Amino acid sequence: MDRRTLILSGLAAGVSGVATNSLAQDADPADGSRTYSADEIISATSDFLGVTAEVAGAAIERIFSQNGSPTAYIAGEEASGAISVGARYGRGLLYMKEQPTQEVFWQGPSIGFDVGGNASRVFTLCYNLHYPDMIYRRFPGVEGSAYMIAGLGVNYQRADGITLAPIRAGVGLRLGANMGYLAYSRKRNILPF
C-alpha cells in the first residue's frame, strides 16, 4: 500500500468513524468478535498444511493455552538453508476478520549450530495484531530444527507486544538450533536483512 492510499484510507476511515455510534468506535479487538476460535484455526491449519485435525489440534491447543485466541493468521510457504549462517525466505496471505486479505513476504538471517535446508508450508498465528500494517517489522526468534525427510514444528517470535507463532510442516534435511529474525515486508527482498 503506497503512502497516498494509506492517507486516503485513513481519511475515509475517520469520516466513516464520525458517522458510526460511539459503541462501535470503542469496540475492543479482544472482545472475541475479531479473533479466531480454536475450531476455525484447527480446520484452516489442517486444510492448509495437509495434516489431520488431530495433529493440527494438538499443536494449536498448546498455543491457545499459552496465548489465547489469535487476531490474525498467515498461510504461506518458505524455504531456508544454513551452514552455521543461514537465510529464510517466504511469502503468504495475511487473514484478519473484517479486513481484506493481504499478501506479505518475509526474509531473515540466522546464526547458530545449524546445517541443512528445508522447504515448508507455514501457518502463523498472530496475537495482538489489530491492523494489517502492524506486521511490517522485524520479529526476533530462536528455533531448533530436526528434519529427516519431514517434520512439524512451532516456535515463537515477539516484537512490540505482537506475538507470532509459526507452525511449519516441511521436508528437507536439517539439524541444529539458531537465532535470528524475520523481517515482514510488502515486497520480496533479495537480501535477508
Distance CA 29, CA 167 (A): 24
**Mean of the pLDDT values across residues 26-31?**
41
- Decide: helix, strand or coil at residue 124: strand
Q: How confident is the model at residue 14 (pLDDT cuts 50, 70, 90)?
A: very low
97 close to 130: Cβ distance less than 8 angstroms: no
pLDDT of residue 26: 33
Pairing assessment for the beta strands 157-159 and 102-127 based on DSSP bridges: unpaired
User: Is residue 7 scored above 50 in pLDDT?
Assistant: no
Cell 533479495 sits on residue: 190
SS3 helix, strand, coil % of the chain, rounded to 5?
30, 50, 20
Q: Is the pLDDT higher at 1 or at 39?
A: 39
Distance of CA 172 to the CA centre of its chain: 21
What would the pLDDT profile of 63-117 be if each residue is shown by its tens digit? 999 999 999 999 999 999 999 999 999 999 999 999 999 999 999 999 998 888 8
- B/e letters for 35-68, b = 16+ CB within 10 Å, e = fewer, are bbebeebbebbbebbebeeeebbebbeebbeeee
pLDDT of residue 174: 80
pLDDT of residue 29: 43
- Decide: helix, strand or coil at residue 32: coil
Q: What cell numbers appear for 119 in the block?
A: 522447504
Other C-beta atoms within 10 Å of 28: how many? 9
What would the pLDDT profile of 161-175 be if each residue is shown by its tens digit? 999 999 888 888 888
Distance CA 176, CA 147 (A): 9
**Mean of the pLDDT values across residues 33-44?**
89
Cell 551452514 sits on residue: 83
**Mean of the pLDDT values across residues 38-51?**
88
User: Is residue 10 scored above 60 in pLDDT?
Assistant: no
Distance of CA 138 to the CA centre of its chain: 12
Per the DSSP assignment, residues forming a β-bridge with 86 are 82, 110
Domains and CATH numbers, the chain: 36-185 (2.40.128.480)
pLDDT of residue 32: 52
**Mean of the pLDDT values across residues 180-193?**
88
**Mean of the pLDDT values across residues 3-14?**
40
Per the DSSP assignment, residues forming a β-bridge with 21 are none
What would the pLDDT profile of 119-154 be if each residue is shown by its tens digit? 989 999 999 999 999 999 999 988 877 665 556 678
Cell 539439524 sits on residue: 175
